[in-house]
Amino acid sequence: MDASDLAPAVGYTAIASATVVGDVEGDDGELIKLDSGMIFELDGCYALLEFSPAALVFERVVTPAEAAELYKKDWKEPVLLYKLVVGEELVDVNRIR
């Protein structure tokens, strides 16, 4: 992984570092559980296939106006978006817990 691989994380803030509990295959919808207690769902397919890799959690607060533009509908509250670096991949995720 080099700096250009992290370009999609511009605007996000690193909020946690943890280890994935178990293995990760990279399938869309797969749950990724971290030893910190956080749980994420993969949003897309990725070439991960690793056992207990290190993970770095990134978060971005999206304003209601940005969310309305992003989701193409009226939005009243800020939205939290997440990305994870799992092993050597930057992946899109939805936070479950």
To the nearest whole number, what is the mean pLDDT of the chain? 92
Q: Report the predicted TM-score, pTM, of the whole model to 2 decimal places.
A: 0.89
The span from the CA of 59 to the CA of 80, in Å, is: 7
Q: List Cα–Cα distances, 15 to 1, 39, 45, 46, 69, in angstroms.
A: 20, 14, 23, 22, 25
pLDDT digit string, tens, across residues 62-91: 999 988 888 888 888 999 999 999 988 999
Token representation of residue 78: 């800020």
Mean pLDDT of 51-59: 93
Q: Quickly count: other Cβ atoms within 10 Å of residue 65's Cβ.
A: 10
